[in-house]
């Protein structure tokens, strides 16, 4: 467990669905059984939210009894709640299949509330696939309002069986912890020393209102009565459909060369074991022109040989 990283800490009565929630949102594989106290130690899973790594801690179930009467397994959860800086996720079993009534679960929240002072808290009403929040009686709804509304605690229904609301609980808890950590940093003394050195300059808007620049070609196309010119050059696909089996893909016809007749010259890359590119003189045409001029000053036989040499 990293005490300094972003952490989601689960707590609640045994068999309310804490381990199932951890298995849903992390890559952990915590044992889940239909009986109480399956989790006997702290289990850590990791998940990602907003490109940040988060650790999710599954704690053993806690019973509502005095601190001195708790066993070693329960004290692990109590210690984690008291000392870890995390977002606390209280998992409640709304269906009461865990063996504890909704009133007992709310009472447990009230009794251990001092342990997570100055920590963001999220309440997850689990097993809504068995019993919907709308099916609660008036007394149970009043109990939830009296327990969580004064504390400004957000209550989110979810079901680890159908995955309903699981991601919402995760995202809400992560956002709550990020906001809480930012508030703590902003309330410290270090922020005041830094803010005194900062000045945010806001540029003033000019008096001149600049109109948007639209090119003339675009305006011409927007004009009424504009007729789009037909495309002159055919696509290779159109040529292929037109010629059928006689079509041959010619990639050299689009070569941009000073002399179009040079497009189809057969120039080998290797000749007698030598790379021709190593022996190419970029000024060969200029030198040949100079050679031709020199040859023209000689008798006719020499000039003919120079022209033949240039052609070669």
Res. 215: pLDDT tops 90: yes
pTM flag (> 0.85): no
- 9 phi and psi, to 5 degrees? -115, 120
Q: Residue 99 in contact with residue 110, Cβ under 8 Å?
A: no
- Cα distances (angstroms) measured from residue 287 to each of 185, 283, 290, 305: 75, 6, 5, 16
- Cα distances (angstroms) measured from residue 47 to each of 5, 7, 28, 62, 99: 12, 10, 9, 25, 30
Q: What is the pLDDT of residues 104-136, one digit of tens each?
A: 888 888 888 888 778 889 999 998 999 888 888
Q: What is the pLDDT of residue 308?
A: 54
User: Average pLDDT for residues 17-25, to the nearest whole number?
Assistant: 88
Q: What is the pLDDT of residues 175-205, one digit of tens each?
A: 999 998 888 877 777 767 777 778 888 877 7
More confident of the two residues 20 and 272: 20
CA–CA separation, 251 and 40 (whole Å): 72
CA–CA separation, 73 and 45 (whole Å): 19
């Amino acid at each position: 467990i990293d005490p300094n990283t972003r952490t989601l800490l689960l707590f609640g009565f045994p068999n309310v669905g804490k381990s199932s929630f951890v298995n849903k949102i992390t890559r952990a594989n915590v044992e889940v059984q239909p009986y109480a106290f399956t989790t006997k130690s702290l289990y850590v899973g990791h998940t990602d939210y907003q490109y940040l790594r988060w650790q999710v801690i599954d704690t053993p179930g806690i019973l509502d009894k005095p601190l001195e009467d708790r066993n070693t397994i329960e004290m692990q959860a109590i210690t984690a709640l008291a000392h870890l800086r995390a977002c606390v996720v209280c998992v409640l079993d709304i269906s009461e299949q865990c063996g504890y009534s909704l009133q007992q679960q709310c009472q447990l929240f009230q009794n251990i509330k001092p342990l997570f002072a100055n920590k963001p808290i999220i309440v997850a009403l689990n097993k809504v696939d068995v019993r919907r929040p709308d099916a609660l009686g008036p007394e149970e709804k009043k109990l939830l309002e009296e327990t969580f509304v004064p504390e400004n605690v957000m209550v989110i229904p979810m079901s680890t069986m159908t995955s309903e609301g699981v991601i919402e609980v995760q995202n809400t808890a992560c956002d709550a912890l990020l906001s809480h950590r930012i508030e703590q940093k902003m309330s410290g003394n270090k922020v005041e020393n830094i803010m005194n050195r900062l000045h945010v300059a806001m540029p003033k808007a000019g008096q001149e209102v600049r109109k948007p620049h639209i090119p003339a070609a675009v305006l011409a196309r927007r004009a009424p009565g504009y007729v789009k010119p037909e495309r002159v050059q055919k696509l290779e696909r159109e040529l292929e459909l037109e010629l059928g089996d006689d079509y041959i893909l010619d990639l050299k016809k689009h070569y941009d060369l000073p002399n179009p007749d040079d497009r189809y010259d057969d120039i080998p890359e290797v000749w007698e074991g030598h790379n021709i590119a190593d022996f190419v003189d970029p000024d060969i045409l200029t030198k040949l022109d100079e050679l031709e001029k020199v040859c023209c000053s000689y008798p006719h036989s020499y000039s003919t040989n120079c022209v033949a040499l240039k052609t070669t």
